[in-house]
Amino acid sequence: MSTYITTDDLQLAIDAALTLERPLLIKGEPGTGKTELAIEVARRMGAPLHSWHIKSTTRAQQGLYEYDAVSRLRDSQLGDDKVANIGNYIVKGVLWDAFESEQRAVVLIDEIDKADIEFPNDLLQELDKMSFEVYETRQSISAIKRPLVIITSNNEKELPDAFLRRCFFHYIAFPDRPTMQRIVESHYPEIKHDLLKAAMDVFFDLREVPGLKKKPSTSELLDWLKLLIADDLPAEALGATDIRTVLPRMHGALLKNEQDIHLFERVIFLHKQQNRR
Amino acid sequence: MLLDFHDKLRAAGIPISLTEWLMLMRGMSMGLGTLDIDRFYAFARLALIKNEALYDRFDQVFSLYWTGQTQAFDELIGSLQTPIPSEWLRTLDKDTLSEEQKAQVEAMGGWDKLMETLAKRLEEQTEEHHGGSRWIGTGGTSPFGHGGYNPEGIRIGNGAKRQGKAVKVWEQRQYRDLDGNKQLGTRNFKMALRKLRRLARDGRPDSLDLDTTIRETANKAGLLDIHMRAERQNAIKVLLLIDIGGSMDYHAQVCETLFSAARTEFKRLDTYWFHNFIYEKLWQDNARRHTQTTPTPELLRRFGRDHRLIIVGDATMSPYEIAVPGGSVEHWNEEPGALWLKRLQQAFPHCVWLNPESREWWNNTPSIRMTHELMQKRMYPLSVDGMQEAIDALKVPMSGITLNDQNS
């Protein structure tokens, strides 16, 4: 059974991207399962997944191919016969692999906003035509089956308009309570009902606390529940009656930085003071 | 057919290109989003909107356009000659009003008159959507405030009853918070700042210099001789001085945007803060501005002439603060601010002043005029266009700076 819950909107987005063969750009709060989506889509389609995780130093060219000049130089010293053919030193990139796939592949370009500001523009042509030229060998590579390209972004940089025009765009909203319940239940089918309810109360209340630096997200909730289940805590132990009275158990899984915990402690403190008066 | 919808979206300030519109059309001809209006909504948003900040605006236009049009939609979008209002108003039935309200309607000049006003109001609202004004009904503002109607009484545009379904997604406006209406994204600034780049090889040699290696290897009759060189990097050095506090509070947002754009764009960026005008000391940490300051002369010594100096400030103050010793509002300055500015200009001839105040106001404020003169007209508005001009100006050093008015 699958543990990934898609909404209708998201389903449609994937259908559209498949039908019209356009890249699908996914944005959303951290921890809403942007990367998971590609993995899940590939799994359901039974298609090979090619992931390309972007770093600040990643260049567009690396997704296509790289020419390994150093190896060739070294081989030339050793008198290796391979040297004659430059093709032996072309290292295929993620997109090349995906283009060569007989079966329709899924390409994940993860966190595209991490790269240099020009990065998306450098890929325009390749994603549009699904083909590119290998300069060193004068080869032209084009996709046998146009792969489904899923791109995720965390909004660290804005993407260029020309790039956006060519994509479908879907914003994964933070799941509402019923959806969240389904997500949790798919992960932990055996969870006790009252524990789940208490935990959800705490979780959604916590997200309401103003001024948190990093609001806890789905993945944090899942981690936290895992801890709670492992300890086999009863629902009452969460002190879920009012979030403002006590720091929830194992809060470390939900609040990931000092300032947030401080802030939260202050909220509790203020609340207690108010009650005393 | 749907062109009217397209125009409405564009009129609301949503940038839609032809490519995207054609993508929507092609998708629909292939059966995407034609099942029912919910699917259509989802697909149209997917294809047309590329920024979650625009979701809310899209929701508004969509609901304005499609409410009451469900039948029309069911006839598959073909028969959409009548745009909303008339259809819209039909949902507004006289029967829903109480006797008392009817009397008020009469007082306002009758039903038709009222509808006319409403229709007019509606049209105005479509146009003003960028302003974020809420549309009648769900936004909670009644169009007939003085008429005394309860907005609940005449709920317009909420198709809930008719479709026997809860409120539509686009009527919930759950993406309202995301619409910041920010035009000056960091991207625009970064693109402008890029022009200032000067790539140079500097630092640790860590990439293979292929050409030299081949040449040297050939020279050594085939014996491999590897040569490395440093990666090309942006070698430009920027000194950023930002005015903070007082009248600058209004411009805090735009300054922040510039600051974050600059910080990611330049590896060598030094930022100092000042208040109103530059005097003998500046500071780097606003929290400790009174204890940890940097004397301006030290700045002049420490940074080389090749630094580009960018001063950000609204230059809005009393002229005394610029021209007279002791003019500063915060402390007794031995020498006038104008002199300090000149010293800076002499030390860093590549300099500009960016002013977040819009250009039209410059002539009305004596201190801005003065600063503009002092900067030899090298003051530019802190906007994307102004930035472009400023970057161009930064390429040319300032000339003819004399300190001879030191004793004046």
- Cβ neighbours, 10 Å, residue B233: 15
pLDDT band at B3 (very low <50, low <70, confident <90, very high): confident
Determine how β-strand A90-92 pairs with β-strand A65-67.
antiparallel
A-chain residue closest to B52, CA distance: A171
Distance CA A22, CA B26 (A): 12
Instruction: DSSP letter for B78, please.
Output: T
What confidence score (pLDDT) does residue B117 get? 60
Distance from B16 to chain A by nearest Cα, in Å?
A: 9
Distance from A170 to chain B by nearest Cα, in Å?
A: 6
Give me the residues of B, 160-179, that contact A with CB < 8 A.
174-175
Q: How many CB pairs under 8 A join A and B?
A: 80
Residue A140: its H or E element: strand A139-142
Mean pLDDT taken over chain A: 82
What confidence score (pLDDT) does residue B136 get? 41
Distance CA B39, CA B106 (A): 42
At B205-262, the pLDDT tens digits run 777 788 888 888 888 877 778 888 877 766 788 888 888 877 777 777 777 777 777 7
Dihedral of the alpha carbons of A114, A119, A120, A123, in degrees to the nearest 10: -130
A80 touches chain B (CB under 8 A): no
The yes-or-no verdict on residue A51 having pLDDT over 90 is yes
DSSP A77-125: HHT-GGGG-GGGGEEE-HHHHHHH-SSPPEEEEE-GGGS-TTHHHHHHH
Distance CA A164, CA A23 (A): 10
Residue with tokens 């796939």: A101
**For A20, which of B27, B38, B226 is closest by C-beta distance?**
B27
What is the sign, positive or negative, of the torsion defined by CA atoms of B134, B139, B141, B143? positive
Mean pLDDT taken over chain B: 70
Long-range contacts of A18-21 (CB under 8 A, 24+ apart): A18/A148, A19/B27, A19/B30, A19/B32, A20/A168, A20/B23, A20/B26, A20/B27, A20/B30, A20/B32, A21/A146
What confidence score (pLDDT) does residue B176 get? 55
Residue B271: its H or E element: strand B268-274
Question: Hey, are the CB atoms on B27 and A169 less than 8 Å from each other?
Answer: no
Distance from B103 to chain A by nearest Cα, in Å?
A: 44
Residue B229's closest CA among B253, B200, B249, B259?
B200
B115 touches chain A (CB under 8 A): no
**For B26, which of A20, A25, A27 is closest by C-beta distance?**
A20
The yes-or-no verdict on residue B99 having pLDDT over 90 is no
Tell me which chain A residues have a C-beta less than 8 angstroms from the C-beta of B33.
12, 16
pLDDT band at B177 (very low <50, low <70, confident <90, very high): low
Who wins on pLDDT, B114 or B65?
A: B65
Find the mean pLDDT for residues B290-305: 84
Who wins on pLDDT, A64 or B247?
A: A64
Size (chain A), residues: 277
**For B46, which of A74, A164, A170 is closest by C-beta distance?**
A170
Q: Of A238-247, B130-139, B373-382, which gets the smallest average pLDDT?
A: B130-139
What confidence score (pLDDT) does residue B149 get? 36
Q: Of A38-42, A254-258, B133-137, B346-350, which gets the smallest average pLDDT?
A: B133-137
What is the model's pTM?
Answer: 0.59
Question: Hey, are the CB atoms on A12 and B26 less than 8 Å from each other?
Answer: no
Question: Hey, are the CB atoms on B23 and A170 less than 8 Å from each other?
Answer: no
Residues whose CB falls within 8 Å of the CB of residue B338, separated by 6 or more in sequence, listed in order: B322, B323, B370, B374, B405
Burial of B377 (C-beta count, 10 Å sphere; 0-12/13-18/19+): exposed
Find the mean pLDDT for residues A74-92: 85
The rounded percent of chain B whose pLDDT value lies above 70 is: 63
What confidence score (pLDDT) does residue B87 get? 36
What confidence score (pLDDT) does residue B102 get? 54
Residue B242's closest CA among B326, B340, B343, B311?
B311
What is the sign, positive or negative, of the torsion defined by CA atoms of A42, A46, A47, A52? positive
Q: First vs last Cα of chain B: how many Å apart?
A: 74
pLDDT band at A106 (very low <50, low <70, confident <90, very high): very high
pLDDT band at B397 (very low <50, low <70, confident <90, very high): confident
pLDDT band at A31 (very low <50, low <70, confident <90, very high): confident
Residue B312: its H or E element: strand B308-312
Interface predicted TM-score (ipTM)? 0.77
What confidence score (pLDDT) does residue B126 get? 47
Distance from B259 to chain A by nearest Cα, in Å?
A: 14
The rounded percent of chain B whose pLDDT value lies above 90 is: 0
Question: Hey, are the CB atoms on B208 and A169 less than 8 Å from each other?
Answer: no
Who wins on pLDDT, B322 or B76?
A: B322
Distance CA A49, CA A103 (A): 11
Distance CA B33, CA B30 (A): 9
Cβ atoms A18, A76 nearer than 8 A = no
What confidence score (pLDDT) does residue A138 get? 87
DSSP B300-318: HHHS-TTPEEEEE----S-
Question: Hey, are the CB atoms on A157 and B52 less than 8 Å from each other?
Answer: no
At A129-139, the pLDDT tens digits run 888 998 888 88
Size (chain B), residues: 408
**For A20, which of B15, B23, B213 is closest by C-beta distance?**
B23
Q: Of A122-131, A173-182, A221-230, B202-211, which gets the smallest average pLDDT?
A: B202-211
The yes-or-no verdict on residue B110 having pLDDT over 80 is no
B221 touches chain A (CB under 8 A): no
What confidence score (pLDDT) does residue B383 get? 78
Distance CA B378, CA B168 (A): 53
B49 touches chain A (CB under 8 A): yes
Distance CA A118, CA A120 (A): 6
Phi, psi of A29 (to 5 degrees): -55, 150
At B308-361, the pLDDT tens digits run 899 988 888 888 888 888 877 777 788 888 888 888 888 898 899 988 888 888
Tell me which chain B residues have a C-beta less than 8 angstroms from the C-beta of A174.
none
Find the mean pLDDT for residues B22-39: 79
Distance CA B255, CA A241 (A): 44
Cβ atoms B169, B178 nearer than 8 A = no
Tell me which chain B residues have a C-beta less than 8 angstroms from the C-beta of A12.
32-33, 39, 42-43, 46
What is the sign, positive or negative, of the torsion defined by CA atoms of A235, A238, A242, A245? positive
Find the mean pLDDT for residues A93-121: 89
Residues whose CB falls within 8 Å of the CB of residue B358, separated by 6 or more in sequence, listed in order: B381, B383
Question: Hey, are the CB atoms on A171 and B52 less than 8 Å from each other?
Answer: yes
